[in-house]
Amino acid sequence: MSNKMYDELALERVIKDRFGVIADINQMIVSRVPVSQLTEATLFLTTKKQLYLYISGQSKLLLGDIKKIVTRMGLKAELYLPPKGHPQYFNEIGRDKFREVFPGRSHVNDDDLSFYRTLVPYNPALILISEVKNGEIYQFDSDARTSWRVATRFSYRRIKTS
């Protein structure tokens, strides 16, 4: 078994264990490209033609950090998948962080939580991608002028059906 196949199987297993998503990898677009000093990302296409981005790193990553990485990679996110068994993960942790700051507030709505959701720990992260902007996927490069360079060219846009 080649290293590529082993990496795909290991990634499928991690995604199933951590997020409860069965992702049969059909094609790896980019594998383990750097997206910061200590963080790597893998972009892959499943057999159901869904594009997923898996981000993991050794540093503490928050949902806000992940959103920034997705944008800088030239991708548009459709859904940030919560950990397995916690469908309201971002709302629950965001609400807890909001209550730490405002302990007396009893009625909390989504507008109040929008900032506090970005402070939720999210490592590793799995994101369903809806579009690759401009057909280019970027990776972190500290030597580049903007700290990002083109990793590969790939066109993708998810068309929603009913």
Q: Which residues contact 156 (CB under 8 A, 6 or more apart)?
A: 45, 51, 129, 131, 132
pLDDT band at 96 (very low <50, low <70, confident <90, very high): very high
Cα separation, 141 vs 146, whole angstroms? 8
pLDDT band at 159 (very low <50, low <70, confident <90, very high): confident
> In the prediction, which pLDDT does 157 show?
93
Residue 5: pLDDT over 70: yes
The three-class DSSP label of residue 38 is coil
pLDDT band at 162 (very low <50, low <70, confident <90, very high): low
Cα separation, 58 vs 124, whole angstroms? 9
Q: Can you tell me the mean pLDDT for 48-63?
A: 95
Mean pLDDT of the chain: 93
Cβ neighbour number for residue 12 with a 10 Å cutoff: 17
Cα separation, 86 vs 92, whole angstroms? 9
> In the prediction, which pLDDT does 1 show?
52
**pTM score, whole prediction:** 0.94
Residue 161: pLDDT over 80: no
- Token pair recorded at residue 59: 């540093």
Q: Can you tell me the mean pLDDT for 112-120?
A: 94
pLDDT band at 150 (very low <50, low <70, confident <90, very high): very high
